[in-house]
């Protein structure tokens, strides 16, 4: 379940209600859609893993992915696209684009 609902009785005997989005596995989320979100929201050729996980409009936040799930998608993306490289150097994890990728081509390829 993506959204968890919580309720409790407050000090004033009123019911308090809140929701939490869980950062869990998303087995039905295609890596191509994650790649589209990356290209659509980041203009830099090099993007840190932390930005991808927790940055504004990042795929980690958009799709409520935890670090492990995001890593799996990035590994999948970098193995499918020769011009996208994931590297871990001295603890610095980055995703690099050798050339610009058209986000619409990514969607077209996926939905064919």
- Specify the pLDDT at position 1: 57
- Specify the pLDDT at position 23: 63
DSSP type of residue 14:
P
Residue 6: helix, strand or coil by DSSP? strand
Three-class DSSP labels, 47-112 = EEHHHHHHCCCCHHHHCCCCHHHHHHHHHHHHHHCCCEEEEEECCEEEEEECCCCCHHHHHHHHHC
Which tens digits make up the pLDDT trace of 52-105?
A: 999 999 999 899 899 999 999 999 999 999 999 999 998 899 999 999 999 999
Residue 4: helix, strand or coil by DSSP? strand
Domains, the chain, ordered by start: 25-111 (1.10.10.10)
Which tens digits make up the pLDDT trace of 5-59?
A: 778 887 888 888 877 666 666 678 999 999 999 999 998 999 999 999 999 999 9
């Amino acid at each position: 379940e993506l959204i968890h609902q919580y309720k409790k009785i407050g000090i004033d005997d009123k019911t308090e209600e809140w929701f939490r989005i869980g950062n869990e596995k998303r087995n039905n989320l295609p890596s191509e859609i994650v790649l589209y979100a990356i290209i659509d929201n980041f203009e830099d050729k090099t993007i840190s893993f932390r930005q991808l996980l927790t940055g504004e409009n990042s795929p980690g936040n958009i799709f409520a992915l935890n670090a492990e799930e995001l890593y799996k998608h990035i590994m999948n993306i970098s193995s499918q696209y020769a011009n996208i490289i994931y590297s871990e150097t001295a603890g610095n994890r980055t995703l690099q684009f050798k050339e610009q990728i058209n986000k619409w081509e990514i969607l077209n390829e996926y939905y064919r």
